[in-house]
Every structure is written in structure tokens, then in C-alpha cells.
Amino acid sequence: MPTDNIVAAAAMSWRRCVFRCERKNTLFGLPKEDTRRNLWLSFIYNTVPEQYNANIRVCAAHFTEDSFLNLGEYKAGCTQRLLLKSGAIPTLQGQSGASDSQPSKSQQAQGSEQLSTSSRSHDVECQTDFIETPPAASPKTRSVGTQVSLGTLKDTHARRKGTQATAPLSPIKAPPFTPHKRPRLELDEEEEDTDISESIAEPHDSTYNPDNSAVTQEYGLWEQTTYNVSKYIVFESCLRELFETCPLCKTKCDVQCRRMGSYVSFTQHCPKCSYHRKWESQPVVGSTPVGNLLVSAATYFCGASFIQFEKICKAMQLQIIQYDAFRRHARNYLEPAVIHKWNLDQKNLFRKLQEGGKVAVAGDMRADTRGHSAKFGCYTLMHLDSNTILDMQLIQSNEVGDSCHMEKEGLKRCLDHLEANSLAVEYITTNRHPQIQKFLRERKIVQFYDVWHFEKGLYKKLDKLSQKKGCEILKKWLRSIKNHVYWSATSSTSGPEKVAKWTSLLNHIQNIHIHENPEFPKCAHPDQASRDPKKWFQTGSMPLHKVEKILNNKRVLKDVEKLCHHYQTSSLKAFHSVILRFAPKNVVFPFIGMLCRLYLAAMHYNENGDREQTTTSGQPMYKVVFPKSKKGECTAKPLKTAPSYDYVADLMKLVIEEVFVDPAPFVKELKQIPIPTFLPSQFERPLKEEVVGRHVSRFSQGVVESLQTVHPDQGTPAKSEAQHRTGEQL
């Protein structure tokens, strides 16, 4: 393109590439550094002009693919803007940049030669860069670390592992932190903090070979610099002491600090001997400090609240990332990792259960709020033999029209998922929900009722009856009746035999031990000697008649026959309490956020659901608790061993080693989940001005109504709260 046309294009508009390329490409402005800006101008004008338009733009078509930080994310469709690496130079004359063609080796060599304006070396152990001074300056030394490429180690000198050898500074460059080249999905980290003026460039090491890098058992580049090493809280004042004076001439140095979330770097320059170095507090991949990602991952995977964690850090002036960066990490890396791990664990569990034939399960639903105003309902199926969560289905209320229908829809999806994975249900234990009864009867699945739900409903009726006048004697028998419910349900009998056991309760509370039922002609316990009428129900009395009416109710007798005799859903209730730690009901989550937190709770329960009881000197340990339901009665509760968090370690490893390297397949797996429409989208959204205009304070509401009554044809503005209290006139 002729120079005159370039100048004309630059003067015409800065919203378009100076080469008049297509407008759909991402545009980049001239860099602030003089050296890089001159290289850009040389590429555009074939020389460095004395006068030029500072607002000219160059599009992405003139850069090679290795010039971008977030090319993987851009190709995956997760971002609409490309980000340049620090030090990137346009080298392609045509429109065949990152999205069209692969750069040639000559172009790559040309860009690498342009960037090599100063020779550098790197101490990876302390994350410090030493920049070589001109030949006239005094010679420098550097500390040779272990986290450099093997090619660099071969070109310098041999040393033993763990020693701190020094050598004259040579013009070689080692990568600060690049385990291997990979397409990846990068975040817009420049929005986190504005006090970092330039992004961190990936290394351009001529001796670095991804296949020959020092990721071995001896050096452990990746294993020793990411998620599994110890981290410490370091004060900024202590760090500044390390860079105040020059290590060569002891002159006071100029120190510059840059921060991005939990990452901090110090640049030291000596005005006397021109000594220069750069220190970084943590490894950096692309433009993302690894510590920032680890903060987000640890917070999310442990089920903690980032808002609460941020308050703690602000209270002690501990620098961390912002909430927007946490949400980007969760959306691009953490949530895809959770979905992938849950699907993988679930497939392995299904594969094991397919070998054992039919499965016995228990099902129950948990809503995010009480009553009929729930937004989400989570239906859970638990495998009773292994006490593990088989499947979870999250339902949003607008998917089924009303929150009352979420339980049936959740059970339907769970059973369909089991059938799709060749798992047949032997029987299912649930509550006595009428919709569930009808649905399972139509699908011809054997259903049993949970004893706890049955006992809870019956106990409420009997407790209400015991508070009436003349029925006070029933209070003495409530606990015995409750125990009789579990005795009747957990016996090996079934059907009519359970009903016979159940009806024998009426004879027992009357101190009658000879029964008319041939199945149970006599009670198993010895006869009671006491005939005190205050302790027993009297035959034909009003309290006995009312109790008999409740216990011999037609529906009660029918439900007794279907009480589960082997397993209960108490473990599901325990799992619901675990969910509260990951997804509290007082916090509103989006659909994917709620689903991932439910999966995290299921991973935690499956790992710790069968913990053993703690023992001391061979004796089991207990603690005494006072449950509210016992109304002051103490209960012994077994002490369990400490829970483990291996699933958190697996997720951290998955994020760092796989998802962060190439997030595209994991994001694709997440996008396969159907997300229901936003709940308020079914309503028409009014203008904000109209809503604000209708807003009336509760202190001035009566005044407005009285003014509108006196002047019905005039629009009278409402008084403010201050005007109402002081009696000012409008």
C-alpha cells in the first residue's frame, strides 16, 4: 500500500485499520514505549516519520498467531476481542493474520529479531529478571535457578541440583513460566486493577524447546511452581527492603511497583551503575498470574463466598482480585471443570452399578426457599446400598409453570437419566407426595414410603390432639407411639402383617395383652402389674376414641403397608444440610452457578458420607447434644473422623493442568447443558423512570392519598420523608 494512501487513511478515521482492512477485525493502537512504537511505524510507513497521526490503528490481520494472549478463547467464541502480548510487532502485510493463516518461519524470525532489543536472563527461583547493561558497564552476575529450559542449561555451565552457582551474565533468555505452548482461553485481566501499566509478555527464548523443557522428576518445573507449593503472606515494606540498594555498588535504587490482584512485581534500577532487574511474586502464564486463578479456584471449590472472603482480605489490607475477575475465572475455567469432573465421576459410578443389576434408590427434592415461591428445585437420587448420590436434576420453576410441579419433573428426569445409562430401579423410597405416587404407579415402579415423613405427619396430629381438654393422657404416650411406628416399619413383615402389628398399638395403650388378631394373639412383653387409670387409656373413653380414629384412618393403614422396611431417606436429609454449606438459601445464584455448587456438595458427600467413628484406646467416642426437636432431652451423637477434601485437589489439578491449558472442549461440554430462560424475562420490563416515579415512602403514603382525595384532577407530588416529619408544605 503506498505511503500517501496510508497517510490519507490515517487522517480519514481512527476507527478503521490504517491499511483499510475489514472493520470486523480487532484494532490495536500504537504502543506507548518508544522502541516498540518505532517498530510499528517502520512497518506501517517503511520508515519512522517525524510527524504522524497518534490515533492510527492496526488490525489483528497484520499479526502472527503467537502475538495474541487469548487466541484460544477468541476461537472458542468466549470473547469478542483479541489481546496482544507485550512486545508484539505487526509483521504481515496482507490480511492473513491470526484468523486466516499460520505465519511463516521467516516472519516469526523477523518478529523475534525485532523484539531482541536487549539481552536478558532470568532467575526463576525468585522470579527475577536481570537485564544486561551495555558493554561499557561493569560485568554482572546472575543466580542460576533450576526452572529453565534444558537448552539453556546445556549452553551455560553444569551445576548440581539445589546449589546457588553464579556465572558472568551472558545474552541468553530463559522463560519465566511457560510449561508448554498451548491454545488457551485467556481472561481480560487488564480490567482487574488499573495500577499495572503493561501486561507481562510470554518469553521468546531461542534455546527453549517445549519438548525439551525441564518438566522432569529432577527439576519439576510445573509441579513446584503452581498449586501444590506453599504460599506466604509477605508485607510490601519487607519486599521493598530487598530492592532499596544496589547489590553491586550499594547505591540507593529507583524502585517501581506494579500490582494486579494478588500479583506484585518490583523493578529495580540503579542510577549509578545502571544495574537493572525485575522481580515477580508468582508465576505468570500469558497475562494471568497463577495466584489470582488459585484464589478464585480455592474459594469456589470449597463452597465459600467470595464476598465474605473479600471482606476478610480488605480488613487486613491483603491484596486480592476483584469480584469481576472472580466471575470471569468461574465462567471460563472453574464451572467447566466442575461439570466435567461430575460427569466423569458419574459415568464411573454408573459403570460399577451396571454390574450389580437393579438398584434400590431414595429420592427427595430440596427447594431454595420455603412455600410456593421457590425459584429452584433440586431432585436427588441416592443409591441406598452405597450411600452415594447417583443423580441430581435442577429444575427452575418457569420450566414447569409452577414450583408445585418441580418435584415430579425432577424425579422424571432422574429416572430417565438412569434408564439412558442402562440402570433399572428395583424400588424407590420417597415421601407420600400424591403426584409422585401417581407417577410411579403409571411407570410401574415399586414405591415405599419413608418412615420419618410418615411419623412426622402422624406426630403432628397426635400432638395437636394431646393439647385439647380431656386428652392430656396422650402426652405420656407420644414417644411410645413414635417408637411403635419404627418398630412396625422396620420389621421383616410386609403388607397385612404390618397392619396387624400397627393395630395392636390400640390394645397396648389400654394394657390389654390378649388380642383378637391371630397374627399377634399376645404381646411379647410381660404383663403390666399397674392398673392406674391415669397411666392407661380406658376402654370406651373419649380420648381413646379420638386416638383410634387417627391411628385406624383408612389412608394411614394403607400407608403403613408401604412403609420401607430396610432403608430410609435420613441420609438424603443429611445431604441437604451439606448443600446449605455450598449454596445457602439466602444467596441468589444463576442456574449454572447453582448447578455447580450442587455438584460440589455431591462430591463432598460421596467422599465423606461413610466416615468411620473416632475411637480412643479402642473405645468409640460420642458427644452429647441437645436437639431442638427433643425439647430439652439430650442425645449421644457419634464423633466421626475428620472429612477429606481430595475432590478439591483433583479439581485444582484439573483446572491448572487441563482446563487452563485448553478450555475450549470443557466450555463446549458446559454449553451442552440446557439453561432455562431468565425468570423475569416472562414479564414486561417497564422504564426505570416510571418505576422511580411510582415509588412512595411508607412515611408519606398517607399524605399522598389525602392530597389525591382533595384534588383528584391534579397531579400532586408526594412529600419526602424529611418534609413529612418537619411539616413543610409542598
**Read out DSSP for 492-523?**
S--THHHHHHHHHHHHHTTT--B-S-TT-SB-
In 170-328, where do the E strands start and end? 254-260, 263-269, 276-280, 284-285, 288-289
Please report, rounded to a whole number, the percentage of residues in the chain having pLDDT higher than 90. Answer: 32
Which of the residue ranges 109-118, 218-227, 562-571 would you say has the lowest mean pLDDT?
Answer: 109-118
Q: How confident is the model at residue 125 (pLDDT cuts 50, 70, 90)?
A: very low
User: What do you get for the CA distance between the two ends of the chain, in Å?
Assistant: 70
Is the model more confident about 166 or about 456? 456
Distance CA 611, CA 644 (A): 9
Strands 425-430 and 447-449: parallel
Distance CA 579, CA 258 (A): 40
Judged against a pLDDT cut of 50, whether residue 414 lies above it is answered with yes
Is the model more confident about 92 or about 680? 92
Which of the residue ranges 287-291, 524-528, 584-588, 604-608 would you say has the lowest mean pLDDT?
Answer: 524-528
pLDDT digits (tens, 9 = 90+) for 699-711: 766 555 554 554 4
Asked if residue 279 lies in contact with residue 145, where contact means CB atoms within 8 angstroms, the answer is: no
Judged against a pLDDT cut of 80, whether residue 185 lies above it is answered with no
Most confident of 130-139, 199-208, 543-552: 543-552
State the DSSP H helix or E strand holding residue 252, giving kind and residue range, or none if neither: none
Question: Residue range 409-436: average pLDDT?
Answer: 92
Asked if residue 308 lies in contact with residue 323, where contact means CB atoms within 8 angstroms, the answer is: no
Q: What are phi and psi of 539, to 5 degrees?
A: -60, 130
Is the model more confident about 597 or about 36? 597
Judged against a pLDDT cut of 80, whether residue 368 lies above it is answered with yes
Question: 177 is written with which cell numbers?
Answer: 513460566
pLDDT digits (tens, 9 = 90+) for 591-627: 999 999 999 999 999 999 888 888 888 889 998 888 8
Judged against a pLDDT cut of 50, whether residue 390 lies above it is answered with yes
Strands 120-123 and 276-280: unpaired
Most confident of 7-11, 35-39, 496-500, 710-714: 35-39
Q: How confident is the model at residue 2 (pLDDT cuts 50, 70, 90)?
A: low
pLDDT digits (tens, 9 = 90+) for 563-589: 877 777 788 889 999 999 999 988 889
Distance CA 450, CA 422 (A): 26
Asked if residue 38 lies in contact with residue 30, where contact means CB atoms within 8 angstroms, the answer is: no
Side-chain-side CA neighbours of residue 28 (13 Å): 23
Asked if residue 303 lies in contact with residue 358, where contact means CB atoms within 8 angstroms, the answer is: no
Task: Report the amino acid identity of residue 553.
Answer: N
The per-residue pLDDT of the chain, averaged, comes to 75
Angle made by CA atoms 253, 258, 262, in degrees to the nearest 5: 130
pLDDT of residue 276: 92
Which of the residue ranges 37-51, 177-191, 240-254, 429-443 would you say has the lowest mean pLDDT?
Answer: 177-191
Asked if residue 663 lies in contact with residue 76, where contact means CB atoms within 8 angstroms, the answer is: yes
Distance CA 124, CA 397 (A): 53
Neighbours of 251 (CB within 10 A): 12
State the DSSP H helix or E strand holding residue 540, giving kind and residue range, or none if neither: none
Distance CA 68, CA 185 (A): 11
